């Protein structure tokens, strides 16, 4: 995803009349929340009135400190579970208390792993939740941070939020962000202690998808423009350039063509192409019924074909496109082939590698998901629907 900047506003502290927002100077998201309380409903209403754009173009996302801070006025909610601490109140009880109200609203729910990292100061979140942050200052602590993030993804969280805390002296380090990025594939939010565009860009370059600025923005609202300009420059160098993105869609369409071939043969419609230097070197589709072979998945067919094309078993310069998240077996094969980039369309929570083999790929491999996701998923769903009739 593109690099995003979120501004965090605390309903109890933010001065709505001082916001520097204009149509040309807007963050990507506004997070609303605080560790104590405040009337979020009135605040979100007043905030919307202040925004220079309409129609929910700038999502207002709740970042609640507790169940009372939910309001149906928001566009979405980070449905937080505080995974770094062992206080059941913030792991699950506050979530249960707010569940029904959220469920009955039209607010989009984003299951979020909230992980506190020691930022060198005691924060109000630590006081309120009675938990200790994870220690980023030694090897064992860093390992725990990474393992917590891996666990979060396996629990089905859709986003990881690493929080050094409001007013942190030390933001989450780029080294830790890089390690988390390497070991997980869901979007990553970084917050706490980011006071300069350089610190923000260091987080983006290390793999952060969203950087949150709270405290610093409260005292320096006029600096928003500076952060936005800096983000633009880093996005051009770090983010997937649009050419690459359209390449991804182009090759995913070819993988979908492969999936159609499987469908025509009454096979589960999954297709795969392998690309190297802009050229397709292997393609394949699911053939498990035709060949009576449980290993005849699209990826395996494509890897075999690509190895024949290049005349060698390793494919380190290749990108593998597949319409559905690879299973553990295929992830293993992709790892053996040393393929360094994997792009998939629809997720597969039942059989996908993210649940069963999250570390099967080559350690340097990068993963992109959600390319033409709707089309990839529809093809599968229609196939199973036709089977049930």
Name the site residues for Zn ion (rule: CB under 5 A): 297, 327, 330
Q: CA of 58: how far to CAs of 16, 34, 105, 277, in Å?
A: 16, 20, 19, 38
CB-wise, 134 or 343, nearer to Zn ion? 343
CB-wise, 117 or 331, nearer to Zn ion? 331
CB of 232 to Zn ion, least distance (A): 39
CB of 247 to Zn ion, least distance (A): 24
Give helix then strand counts, H and E, for the chain: 14, 13
Please list, residue by residue across 180-213, b when 16 or more beta carbons sit within 10 angstroms of its beta carbon and e when fewer do: bbeebbbbbbbbbbbbebebbbbbbebbbbbbbb
CB of 262 to Zn ion, least distance (A): 13
CB of 299 to Zn ion, least distance (A): 6
CB-wise, 128 or 383, nearer to Zn ion? 383
CB-wise, 285 or 297, nearer to Zn ion? 297
CB of 322 to Zn ion, least distance (A): 8
CB of 365 to Zn ion, least distance (A): 16
CB-wise, 47 or 331, nearer to Zn ion? 331
Tokens encoding 61: 């996302």
CB of 311 to Zn ion, least distance (A): 25
Tokens encoding 85: 């601490």
Contact (Cβ atoms closer than 8 angstroms) between residue 383 and residue 268 = yes
What's the rounded Cα separation, in Å, for the pair 218 and 221? 6
CB-wise, 14 or 330, nearer to Zn ion? 330
- Dihedral of CA atoms 312, 314, 320, 325 in degrees, nearest 10, equals 130
Chain CA centroid to CA 287, Å: 32
Strand 271-276 relative to strand 319-324, pairing: antiparallel
CB of 330 to Zn ion, least distance (A): 3
Tokens encoding 251: 């090759």
Element (H, E) at 154: helix 139-154
CB-wise, 27 or 282, nearer to Zn ion? 282
Contacts of range 380-387, beta carbons closer than 8 Å, 24 or more positions apart: 380/268, 380/269, 380/270, 380/323, 380/324, 380/346, 383/263, 383/268, 383/269
Q: CA of 10: how far to CAs of 37, 65, 107, 221, 347, in Å?
A: 9, 10, 19, 14, 35
Provide φ and ψ at 206, rounded to 5°: -75, -15
CB of 255 to Zn ion, least distance (A): 14
Element (H, E) at 76: strand 76-82
The span from the first CA to the last CA of the chain, in angstroms, equals 38
Q: CA of 217: how far to CAs of 22, 192, 195, 341, in Å?
A: 15, 11, 8, 37
CB-wise, 120 or 383, nearer to Zn ion? 383
CB-wise, 348 or 373, nearer to Zn ion? 348
CB of 283 to Zn ion, least distance (A): 15
CB-wise, 153 or 325, nearer to Zn ion? 325
Provide DSSP, 372-386: THHHHHHHHHHHHHH
């Amino acid at each position: 995803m593109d690099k995003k900047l979120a501004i965090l506003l605390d309903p109890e502290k933010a001065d709505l009349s001082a916001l520097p927002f204009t149509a040309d100077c807007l963050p990507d998201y506004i997070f609303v929340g605080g560790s104590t309380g405040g009337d979020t409903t009135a605040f979100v209403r007043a905030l919307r009135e202040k925004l220079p754009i309409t129609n929910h173009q700038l999502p207002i996302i709740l970042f609640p400190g507790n169940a009372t801070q939910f309001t149906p006025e928001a566009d979405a909610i980070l449905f937080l579970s505080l995974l770094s601490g062992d206080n059941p109140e913030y792991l699950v009880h506050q979530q249960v208390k707010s569940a029904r109200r959220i469920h009955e609203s039209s607010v989009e729910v984003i299951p979020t792993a909230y992980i506190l990292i020691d930022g060198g100061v005691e924060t109000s979140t630590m006081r309120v939740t009675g938990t200790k942050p994870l220690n980023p200052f030694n090897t064992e602590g860093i390992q725990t941070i990474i393992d917590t993030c891996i666990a979060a993804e396996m629990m089905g969280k859709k986003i990881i939020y690493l929080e050094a805390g409001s007013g942190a002296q030390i933001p989450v380090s780029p080294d830790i962000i890089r390690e988390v990025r390497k070991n997980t594939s869901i979007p990553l939010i970084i917050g706490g202690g980011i006071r300069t565009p350089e610190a923000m860009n260091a987080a983006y370059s290390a793999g952060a998808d969203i950087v949150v600025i709270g405290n610093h923005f409260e005292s320096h609202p006029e600096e928003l423009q500076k952060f936005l300009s800096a983000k633009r420059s880093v996005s051009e160098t770090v983010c997937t350039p649009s050419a690459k993105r359209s390449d991804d869609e182009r090759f995913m369409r070819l993988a979908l063509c492969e999936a159609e071939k499987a469908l025509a043969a009454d096979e589960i419609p999954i297709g795969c192409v392998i690309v190297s230097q802009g050229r397709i070197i292997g393609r394949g589709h699911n053939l498990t019924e035709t060949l009576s072979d449980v290993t005849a998945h699209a990826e395996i067919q494509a890897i075999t074909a690509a190895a024949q094309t290049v005349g060698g078993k390793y494919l380190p310069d290749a990108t593998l496109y597949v319409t559905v998240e690879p299973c553990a077996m295929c992830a293993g094969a992709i790892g053996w082939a040393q393929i360094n980039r994997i792009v998939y369309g629809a997720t597969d929570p039942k059989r996908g590698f993210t649940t069963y083999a999250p570390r099967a790929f080559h350690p340097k491999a990068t993963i992109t998901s959600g390319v033409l996701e709707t089309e990839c998923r529809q093809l599968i769903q229609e196939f199973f629907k036709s089977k049930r009739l």
